[in-house]
Amino acid sequence: MLAPPTIFSGPAAGERTAHRHGPARLALALLALVLLAGCATRPPVEAPPPPPPPGMERLIGQPAETALQLLGPARLDRREGPARQLQFAGPCILDIFYYPRNGQVSIATHAEARLPSGVASSPGDCFEALLQSRPARGG
Protein backbone atom coordinates (compact mmCIF):
# COMPACT_ATOMS: atom_id res chain seq x y z
CA MET A 1 0.00 0.00 0.00
CA LEU A 2 1.16 3.45 -0.83
CA ALA A 3 1.34 6.23 1.70
CA PRO A 4 -0.87 9.25 1.04
CA PRO A 5 0.97 12.21 -0.53
CA THR A 6 2.27 14.84 1.90
CA ILE A 7 1.53 18.49 1.35
CA PHE A 8 4.48 20.60 2.36
CA SER A 9 4.09 24.36 2.62
CA GLY A 10 7.21 25.39 4.55
CA PRO A 11 10.66 26.13 3.17
CA ALA A 12 12.73 23.23 2.00
CA ALA A 13 15.82 22.46 3.98
CA GLY A 14 18.50 25.06 3.34
CA GLU A 15 16.13 27.63 1.77
CA ARG A 16 16.10 31.16 3.13
CA THR A 17 13.06 32.37 5.01
CA ALA A 18 13.56 36.07 4.23
CA HIS A 19 10.67 36.10 1.78
CA ARG A 20 8.26 35.54 4.66
CA HIS A 21 9.47 38.73 6.39
CA GLY A 22 9.91 40.77 3.22
CA PRO A 23 6.49 42.48 3.21
CA ALA A 24 6.75 43.38 6.90
CA ARG A 25 10.24 44.79 6.45
CA LEU A 26 9.14 46.73 3.40
CA ALA A 27 6.19 48.21 5.28
CA LEU A 28 8.45 49.15 8.20
CA ALA A 29 10.96 50.78 5.86
CA LEU A 30 8.21 52.78 4.12
CA LEU A 31 6.80 53.89 7.48
CA ALA A 32 10.25 55.07 8.59
CA LEU A 33 10.68 56.94 5.31
CA VAL A 34 7.34 58.69 5.69
CA LEU A 35 8.11 59.67 9.28
CA LEU A 36 11.52 61.02 8.31
CA ALA A 37 10.02 62.96 5.42
CA GLY A 38 7.64 64.62 7.88
CA CYS A 39 10.60 65.83 9.90
CA ALA A 40 12.11 67.48 6.85
CA THR A 41 9.15 69.77 6.16
CA ARG A 42 9.39 73.42 6.98
CA PRO A 43 7.21 74.94 9.67
CA PRO A 44 4.17 76.75 8.28
CA VAL A 45 4.86 80.38 7.48
CA GLU A 46 2.21 82.85 8.57
CA ALA A 47 0.69 84.53 5.54
CA PRO A 48 1.10 88.28 5.40
CA PRO A 49 -2.00 90.17 6.45
CA PRO A 50 -4.24 91.57 3.72
CA PRO A 51 -3.97 95.29 3.03
CA PRO A 52 -6.12 97.46 5.29
CA PRO A 53 -9.45 98.74 4.01
CA PRO A 54 -9.25 102.20 2.45
CA GLY A 55 -8.97 104.86 5.13
CA MET A 56 -7.82 102.41 7.82
CA GLU A 57 -4.08 102.54 7.12
CA ARG A 58 -3.48 104.50 10.35
CA LEU A 59 -5.14 101.83 12.53
CA ILE A 60 -4.80 98.37 10.97
CA GLY A 61 -1.49 96.80 11.96
CA GLN A 62 -1.12 99.13 14.93
CA PRO A 63 -1.55 98.48 18.69
CA ALA A 64 -4.69 99.60 20.53
CA GLU A 65 -2.89 102.64 21.94
CA THR A 66 -2.86 104.18 18.45
CA ALA A 67 -6.66 104.13 18.19
CA LEU A 68 -7.03 105.41 21.75
CA GLN A 69 -4.69 108.33 21.03
CA LEU A 70 -6.48 109.22 17.80
CA LEU A 71 -10.10 108.66 18.87
CA GLY A 72 -10.07 109.07 22.65
CA PRO A 73 -11.60 106.65 25.13
CA ALA A 74 -13.42 103.65 23.68
CA ARG A 75 -17.09 103.14 24.46
CA LEU A 76 -16.35 99.41 24.82
CA ASP A 77 -13.09 97.65 25.65
CA ARG A 78 -13.75 93.91 25.58
CA ARG A 79 -11.20 91.12 26.01
CA GLU A 80 -11.74 87.45 25.33
CA GLY A 81 -8.69 85.21 25.54
CA PRO A 82 -5.94 86.80 23.47
CA ALA A 83 -8.44 88.90 21.48
CA ARG A 84 -9.45 92.47 22.22
CA GLN A 85 -12.21 94.62 20.76
CA LEU A 86 -12.39 98.41 21.00
CA GLN A 87 -15.62 100.14 20.04
CA PHE A 88 -15.83 103.85 19.28
CA ALA A 89 -19.17 105.63 18.83
CA GLY A 90 -20.26 108.96 17.39
CA PRO A 91 -21.91 109.56 14.02
CA CYS A 92 -21.15 105.87 13.41
CA ILE A 93 -19.92 102.86 15.39
CA LEU A 94 -16.43 101.51 14.70
CA ASP A 95 -15.33 98.14 16.08
CA ILE A 96 -11.61 97.38 15.88
CA PHE A 97 -10.37 93.86 16.63
CA TYR A 98 -6.89 93.13 17.97
CA TYR A 99 -5.02 89.83 17.98
CA PRO A 100 -1.43 88.94 18.85
CA ARG A 101 0.75 88.49 15.79
CA ASN A 102 3.89 86.33 15.88
CA GLY A 103 3.73 86.13 19.68
CA GLN A 104 4.14 89.89 20.00
CA VAL A 105 1.86 92.69 21.12
CA SER A 106 -1.71 92.61 19.82
CA ILE A 107 -2.35 94.66 16.70
CA ALA A 108 -5.49 95.73 14.87
CA THR A 109 -6.25 93.07 12.29
CA HIS A 110 -9.84 93.85 11.33
CA ALA A 111 -12.43 96.60 11.62
CA GLU A 112 -16.18 96.81 11.09
CA ALA A 113 -18.43 99.86 11.01
CA ARG A 114 -22.11 100.63 11.03
CA LEU A 115 -24.44 103.56 11.41
CA PRO A 116 -26.44 103.92 14.64
CA SER A 117 -29.40 102.48 12.71
CA GLY A 118 -27.41 99.25 12.21
CA VAL A 119 -26.76 99.72 8.49
CA ALA A 120 -23.24 98.66 7.50
CA SER A 121 -20.77 101.43 6.79
CA SER A 122 -17.22 101.67 5.46
CA PRO A 123 -14.69 101.42 8.32
CA GLY A 124 -12.50 104.07 6.67
CA ASP A 125 -15.40 106.51 6.29
CA CYS A 126 -16.48 105.88 9.87
CA PHE A 127 -12.93 106.43 11.15
CA GLU A 128 -12.77 109.80 9.35
CA ALA A 129 -16.21 110.80 10.69
CA LEU A 130 -15.13 109.91 14.24
CA LEU A 131 -11.92 111.94 13.84
CA GLN A 132 -13.90 114.95 12.61
CA SER A 133 -16.51 114.69 15.36
CA ARG A 134 -13.92 114.54 18.11
CA PRO A 135 -13.66 117.80 20.06
CA ALA A 136 -10.45 119.72 19.42
CA ARG A 137 -7.86 119.19 22.10
CA GLY A 138 -7.11 122.23 24.15
CA GLY A 139 -3.45 123.15 24.54
What tens digit of pLDDT does each residue of 57-115 get? 999 999 999 999 999 999 999 999 999 999 999 999 999 999 998 778 899 999 999 99
Instruction: State how far Cα 53 lies from the chain centre.
Output: 20
How would you class 123 by CB atoms within 10 Å of its CB: exposed for 0-12, middle for 13-18, buried for 19 or more?
buried
Residues 6+ apart with CB under 8 A from 97: 83, 84, 85, 108, 109, 110, 111, 112
CA distance between the termini of the chain: 126
- DSSP for residue 94: E
Is pTM beyond 0.75 here?
Answer: no
Query: 31 pLDDT exceeds 90?
Result: no
Higher pLDDT, 10 or 60: 60
User: How far apart are the C-alpha atoms of 122 and 112, rounded to whole Å?
Assistant: 8
Under the banding of pLDDT at 50, 70 and 90, the label for residue 139 is: very low
How would you class 90 by CB atoms within 10 Å of its CB: exposed for 0-12, middle for 13-18, buried for 19 or more?
middle
pLDDT confidence of residue 11: 55
User: Any idea which of 19-33, 43-57, 70-84 has the lowest mean pLDDT?
Assistant: 19-33
User: How far apart are the C-alpha atoms of 61 and 81, rounded to whole Å?
Assistant: 19
Higher pLDDT, 32 or 38: 32
Under the banding of pLDDT at 50, 70 and 90, the label for residue 43 is: low
User: How far apart are the C-alpha atoms of 73 and 62, rounded to whole Å?
Assistant: 16
pLDDT confidence of residue 107: 95
